[in-house]
Structures are given as structure tokens and as C-alpha cells.
A and B are shown apart, each in its own frame.
Chain A
């Protein structure tokens, strides 16, 4: 099944949360990547029918998602917020999902879903006694109980320990390989890279990039990088670096040098070589814009 977003925008008063996004999510695993506050949740909520687009349409195989409860026969949703009744046991929670779907054999469906997320053992404990990772897993079980062709997960790996994370990653990958349409959001590139074949990048509400993870990775590493360098002789180092093409610009300040590296790999080789031949010792080399926000803002500027 396919989720299609056509020129979707969502604003709250004067604040634009999602700005003119057009994308198609097909079978396989798609990662929705973006920094916190980029509008990932807003976009996911619109895909799940919990928020009306202010403009544009969201459709599932051609049928409109908003105000259409029949779409939930095909969609499994794992919300980021807790969304789990603490007073129910894990078993009761997943079983209630199976019953709400009107499945012919809810008990068997619930048993199978809990087995899929390895939650059989603690299933008779109340959800309020669960760790965050366990809650996350019963939510996944409840979303999978009717074996939906489409699965939407909002920051599914948050709060999970590494082992649970790997397990859920395997699960998502295998379901994607089986032909389900899976979309999950995350603000961590590595997470997305390990699970998704396809990545959609959302920055400040805008669709900044789209493609296979290698392509996104390349976009992110090939951009100009800004480094802050302190050395035994900043002035001489600046002059030496300027002789090479891979250093695009050098500025000398009281706190050391700021170097704009046009080509990341080339500069990474250049710096130690220059320092050695000039006999300068490097005290500090730190990326000045390595945070995800600036990586994303680069993508945004590039796309506009």
C-alpha cells in the first residue's frame, strides 16, 4: 500500500509546522529523519488521520485518511506519547486492540503479536510497572495485532536499551522485506541508516531531501565543514592551509582559527600533513557545526 502526501501543509495560528510537503511512501522501510521540532510528529499524525492538513491531501491507496476510520484496518500506529492504559496488563492491552479490530480470533492474534515483540513473559503485569522499552514493545504489539500492511511508528527507538533496539530494528527490517509499508520517524541519522532503505528528511517543516541512505549520507558529509583549531602557531598554520584548495576560507581570531573545509575528506588529510611539515603542534581541532541542526540547515539551503 502507498501513502501519498500532496502539497501538505499544517499550521497552528501563525506557526507553520509542515510546509508544502509532497512525498510518497511505498512498500519497504522509510525513515523520516529530522531534528526535534522539524514537524515529524505533525506529519506522522496527518498520515495517521489524527490531524487535518491545513492544506493538501493525505491519501492511502487513493482514499483520504482524514475522518475515515476504515483506514485503521490497514494501518498500525505506534504513537510517541505513552498512549497505553497503565491499569491494564500487557496482555489485556494487546487483546483489547485485537477485539477493537473485530478480529475473528483475538486471543490467538494477541498471543502472536506479543510473541513477535518478545513480551510473553511480562504480559500479565500491569503496563504501569513496565519500563519505557517494554511499553514501547506492547505498543508495537498492539499496532501489529491485525497484521496491517502499513505501519507508522513515531520515534520508536526512544527509551529502548541497545538490545531491545536491535531487536525492534530487525523486526522492522524483516517486515519491510516482507512488503509492508513502514514509516518511522527519528532524529538520529545512524538509527535511520541501519533500518531504512529510503530516507525522507524534514527540516523546519520542509521536505529537505529524499533518497537512499547512501545518498543522504553523502549529502551530509560532502557539505562544507567548519572547524575550530587551536595550535602552537595559528598565524603560520592559517597561511599554510590557505595554500591548499580544500580549505575554502580561514579566519584568525583571538580563540584560534576557523577554517571552512570545502571538501571534508581532503581537508582531513591536509591538516595533519601541513602541521607536521610546518612543525606546528595542534592543541585542538573541533567541528564547529557538527550538530544535526546545522547539517540539516545546510540541506535546506541547498534545496532552496
Chain B
């Protein structure tokens, strides 16, 4: 962890228009929660639908994409990364710092709003709100790592990320039962299910699979991103 790298990265992500992107989806989530509450649908079933389909199913991967690629891809694109890379700091440390920044942003912009939205609907009933908040936090950390890696490896990180988040997680995970095992969102739900006692929540993937999977994906992605950054080639305009 390097504080100067972290400081510059936070400023790049929060100081400009990107913060609007980071705020848009959580605002939508809170707006939907309020709407449901005002319409009197503040029961466990609608909470579950909102959490699974919007908080974990839509907002989390998209925010993961914005934060995870946002901490590094624009810098690689415009060449500003050279400022960090031409210093006596190991490249894996740069990657790890960027990962921590992305993970912390997801905690603030994804996990916290997830808790608040669920709490607005059902309070702390059956530990639904804390369950989904922790699920979003852990899955957010994994997404931060995966999308950071994607941002280092390819210049088309956003496109590939969207295809992954929507097609794989959304469609394949939804229709092909076996593929669900390999979905960050399903792992998030396993954790939520573990914490929550609500009968409406039923995770497909066991905790025994989800937790090691989350840890392995996160660690491997961060280490890999560090290695890729070590051999990142920058070329001039010619």
C-alpha cells in the first residue's frame, strides 16, 4: 500500500465526473427502496427481489466495473500511469494499492447503500440488511480485484466487463444451473443467506464453496494484476 498512489487514485475517481457514475446506481437503489416502502410493499419478499435483482444483480457488478477498471484503465490509456511506474515502487504494490482503493469505494458506494436500502424496507428483521450488506462487501472486493485485472490486461476492459457482468452473471448464471457455481453474485448470496435467517432467501451455492472461491479469485486477480503491471509495455506515439 502506497499512500501517494492511493491519494492520486482517489482524486482521479472522486474529483471528477466519475463520482456521478458511482453515485447514480446507489441513488437508484435507495429510490426504489423508498418507492416500495411508500407503496406499502415493504415486506421480505420484495426486499429480497430488490436485493437479488438490483443491488447484487445489477448495481454491484456495474459499480465493480466502474471502480475496478476506473482505478487503473484510464491511466494506462492516457499514459499518466508512467508517473507512478517510473518510481522505485514495485509494480505489485501499485496494483495492490489500486485494488484497495477500488474495494474501499465499493464498500462505501455499494455495501453501505445495500444495507440502507434493505433497512428502509424491513429494518434489521431476520438480519436481511446486514446479510446483504456483508455479501455485497465481500463480492464487491472480489469484483474490484477481477475488474482491476481486466483493466490492466486489456484496453477493452469496460466492454468485456459489461459482457461478463450481464451475460455470464445474468443470463448464463440464471439459465445454466451449473454455471451458477462460478458466479460472484451467487457467492454474495451464499454469504447473505448464511447471515440472514429469512425463509425467503435460499442460496444455490454452499458457503463451503463460496468463501474459498471468493478468496481465491480475489487473491489470484490482485497478484496477477501486479505481475501484468510489471511487464506492462508502454509505447510512444510512433
Chain A interface (Cβ < 8 Å from any Cβ of B): 36-42, 44-45, 48, 50-52, 67, 69-70, 72-73, 75, 77, 79-85, 87-88, 93, 96-97, 99-102, 142-143, 154
Contact = CB atoms under 8 A, between A and B. Distances in A.
Nearest to A73: B88
B237 to A, nearest CB: 7
A50 B4 CA distance: 21
A42 B231 contact: no
Given A51-B235, A52-B231, A100-B5, A83 B82 contact: yes
Interface stretch (B10-18, B117-125, B165-173): B10-18
A51 B4 contact: no
Contact of A77 (B12, B86, B230, B233): B86
A168 B16 CA distance: 33
B237 A100 contact: no
Contacts of A70: 88
Given A79-B79, A83-B80, A87-B15, A52 B233 contact: yes
Contacts of B16: 87
A293 B115 CA distance: 66
B72 to A, nearest CB: 13
A70 B80 CA distance: 20
B17 to A, nearest CB: 11
A75 B83 CA distance: 13
Interface of B: 2, 4-5, 7-8, 11-12, 15-16, 78-80, 82-91, 230-238
A36 B238 contact: yes
Contact of A84 (B4, B12, B80): B80
Contact of B82 (A52, A77, A101, A102): A77
A117 B195 CA distance: 59
Contact of B8 (A38, A83, A88): A88
Given A67-B230, A73-B88, A100-B87, A88 B11 contact: yes
Given A70-B88, A83-B79, A45 B234 contact: yes
Given A40-B236, A85-B8, A87-B12, 4 more contacts: A48-B86, A70-B88, A81-B79, A96-B7
A85 B83 contact: yes
B238 to A, nearest CB: 5
9 contacts: A42-B235, A45-B235, A50-B232, A51-B235, A79-B86, A85-B80, A99-B4, A100-B84, A154-B236
Contacts of B82: 50, 77, 79, 81, 83
A38 B87 CA distance: 27
Contacts of A96: 4, 7-8, 83
A67 B226 CA distance: 12
A51 B86 contact: no
Contacts of B86: 48, 50, 72, 75, 77, 79, 143
A81 B79 CA distance: 7
A40 B238 contact: yes
B12 A85 contact: yes
Contact of A42 (B7, B84, B90, B238): B238
Contacts of A40: 236, 238
A183 B237 CA distance: 19
Contacts of B80: 82-85
Nearest to B94: A69
Of A39, A77, A85, A154, most buried by chain B (CB within 10 Å of CB) is A85
Nearest to B83: A83
Contacts of B236: 40-42, 44-45, 79-81, 154
A102 B4 CA distance: 10
A44 B91 CA distance: 20
B27 to A, nearest CB: 24
Given A79-B79, A96-B4, A72 B235 contact: no
Contacts of B2: 100
A58 to B, nearest CB: 13
B233 to A, nearest CB: 5
Nearest to A99: B4
Contacts of B89: 69, 100
A81 B237 contact: yes
Nearest to B4: A99
Contact of A142 (B83, B88, B230, B233): B83
Contacts of B90: 69
A249 B234 CA distance: 47
Contacts of B235: 41-42, 45, 51
